[in-house]
Amino acid sequence: MQARVRTVAFQGIDVLPVDVQVQIAPGTLGFAVVGLADKAVGESRARIRAALRALGLALPPQRITVNLSPADLAKEGSHYDLPIALALLAAMGVLPADSLKGLVALGELALDGSLCRVAGVLPAALHASAEGRSLVCPQVCGGEAAWSGLGAAANDEDEAPTIVAAPSLLALINHLRGQQTLPAPEAEMAEDTATYPDIAEIKGQETAKRVLEIAAAGGHNLLMIGPPGAGKSMLAARLPGLLPPLQPEEALEASMVRSLAGDLPDGKLSRRRAFRDPHHSATLQALVGGGLRARPGEVSLAHHGVLFLDELPEFNRATLEALRQPLETGRVTVARANAHVTYPARFQLVAAMNPCRCGHLFEASQACGRAPRCGSEYQGKLSGPFLDRIDLAIEVPAVGAAELALPPPTERSADIAARVGAARAIQRERLAEFERKGGQEAEAWSKPRCNADTDGALLAAIAAPDAEGRALLTRATERLGLSARAWHRTLRVARTLADLDGSDGLRRLHIAEALSYRRPQQRPALAA
């Protein structure tokens, strides 16, 4: 007696089909799972046995062999419980063999036969939808799977693929046998009830606020350098309140990564941009991904959001250097002996640091005892190639008593967010127009979404400065020894400045301001 059902395996963001084959044959009593299964998959035998016993069923006293094909693909996770149990029930004659055709199943079994939440249901549902198959998953994951659009197709055609979200194995058996009909899950959007701190609470730091607005409008990387207590962390904490909500396709992409990480509560998608702020003790694997099962790291969990690194030089040098690739390409690849796993990582880096270890390098009232060596050694922990990927770098001076005594500023986060939203809308329309004209091919999650993502022909088309601006940028590049990367990043920032001004073209004024936000030691001293 044999039966089979389809499930999936995950390699980074990629979803690969897996065929679960079950054979019950005479021979020595046993229950073997083959096909490069990890410990969690091997332990499914005990969970399946207990779940069937809770339903009043017993395994036949014969040899049971479960093969997970392709056999050379590593199988990890507890989501193989349900497909193995379904194929086993079909081989035992409890389920009709044809009831499993056209299904993709995943879910973990509890000992009482109920179905538990598993990671990766959203990308599995999108994979099933692309293949024209129905999805079977736990009820708690049904809302997450509904975002694939499978349920909507069932309204048009009776035979169209759909989603079966079951609370337990018994309910699923009755559904597949036609004795019960499980309701279709509904896609739900999480309510954004978060209250962000207002930028009006920060006194002084007008230059820093201006740069924060530019960073939010164009999605640019930002580095703030200043003494302790200057307000660097306060400024970073107010950035989420300036950013526009995720577009529907961006929310789906970000939720796919969160689903793979098992971090999608209640299966609801959110349009709130992620704000990840790992401690400086974070390991390389925690930041860029990896570990035993090559899980997504902070850079991927911040996809289409913000990654804030406070006390930047205190991070491990190798950890920071590992950020160079995702900052440039928008993805991170974790190499292992048996596979290369890729996750999307198009995030906005915001970092803060002191000018030296004591933090008072430039303060005359609290002179650093080891200046300037203290500052050079401390800032020397950051490599030139890493800093070259920073679009905006500013000094955040200490706030004086006179500024603290002033009344709160009148401009609030909502005012800045309105300008940022208008600039982002201009960018979306411009990028969409370029794509309609056949601009460039890219995977959905790697398409440019804002000025900071543009490159190549797209950047040349949207960020061509006027004659005076090009002359200024050329002179600055020659005098300061700016790299080709710095040239292009300056153009991206200038394009954002033009968008905030409502200008179609890039003028000399925009280039000059963009150059002023390069690394402090690279600021141009050019004649006006």
pLDDT above 80 (res 144): yes
Check residue 404 and give its pLDDT: 85
Hey, what's the torsion of the CAs at 446, 448, 453, 455, to 10 degrees? 100
Locate 290 and state its tokens. 């990896």
pLDDT above 60 (res 424): yes
Angle at 442 between CA 439 and CA 445, to 5 degrees: 130
Higher pLDDT, 361 or 521: 361
Query: What's the burial of 138, exposed, middle or buried (CB within 10 Å: 0-12/13-18/19+)?
Result: buried
Check residue 442 and give its pLDDT: 55
Q: Is the peptide bond before 372 cis (omega within 30 degrees of 0)?
A: yes
pLDDT above 60 (res 527): no
Check residue 523 and give its pLDDT: 41
For the segment 443-467, what is each residue's pLDDT rounded down to a tens digit? 665 688 899 999 888 999 999 999 9
State mean pLDDT over 306-335: 93
pLDDT above 80 (res 156): no
Select from 290, 262, 252, 258 the least CA-distant residue to 108.
Answer: 262
pLDDT above 90 (res 241): yes
Question: Which of 10-14, 109-113, 178-182, 403-407 shows the lowest per-residue confidence on average (mean pLDDT)?
Answer: 403-407
Q: Which backbone phi and psi does 290 adopt, to 5 degrees?
A: 140, -145
Check residue 446 and give its pLDDT: 65
Question: Which of 97-101, 143-147, 357-361, 413-417 shows the lowest per-residue confidence on average (mean pLDDT)?
Answer: 357-361
Confidence of residue 268 (pLDDT cuts 50, 70, 90): confident
Angle at 47 between CA 44 and CA 52, to 5 degrees: 120
Question: Which of 142-156, 344-358, 396-410 shows the lowest per-residue confidence on average (mean pLDDT)?
Answer: 142-156
Q: Using CA atoms, how far apart are residues 262 and 255, in angstroms rounded to an integer?
A: 10
The CATH number, out of the four listed (3.90.420.10, 1.25.40.340, 2.40.50.140, 3.30.230.10), of the domain defined by the range 2-176: 3.30.230.10
State mean pLDDT over 16-37: 94
What is the topology classification, in CATH, of domain 199-418? Rossmann fold (3.40.50)
State mean pLDDT over 482-494: 94
Question: Which of 20-34, 150-164, 388-402 shows the lowest per-residue confidence on average (mean pLDDT)?
Answer: 150-164
Q: CB–CB of 169/56 below 8 Å?
A: no
Check residue 272 and give its pLDDT: 92
Higher pLDDT, 370 or 152: 370
For the segment 190-213, what is each residue's pLDDT rounded down to a tens digit? 877 778 899 999 998 999 999 999
pLDDT above 50 (res 525): no
pLDDT above 80 (res 293): no
Locate 80 and state its tokens. 């193989």
Select from 76, 434, 408, 388 the least CA-distant residue to 260.
Answer: 76
Which residues are CB-contacts of 422 (< 8 A; sequence separation ≥ 6)? none
| Count of other CB atoms within 10 angstroms of residue 298 | 21
Question: Which of 30-44, 330-344, 346-360, 405-419 shows the lowest per-residue confidence on average (mean pLDDT)?
Answer: 330-344
Check residue 526 and give its pLDDT: 42
Task: Give the domain ranges of the chain.
Answer: 2-176, 199-418, 463-522
Check residue 155 and give its pLDDT: 46
Q: Using CA atoms, how far apart are residues 106 and 80, in angstroms rounded to an integer?
A: 6
Mean pLDDT of the chain: 89
State mean pLDDT over 145-174: 79
Q: Using CA atoms, how far apart are residues 297 and 3, in angstroms rounded to an integer?
A: 38
State mean pLDDT over 224-247: 93
Q: Using CA atoms, how far apart are residues 202 and 211, in angstroms rounded to an integer?
A: 14
Q: Using CA atoms, how far apart are residues 495 and 446, in angstroms rounded to an integer?
A: 20
Check residue 335 and give its pLDDT: 80
Q: CB–CB of 118/107 below 8 Å?
A: yes
Select from 303, 297, 341 the least CA-distant residue to 322.
Answer: 297
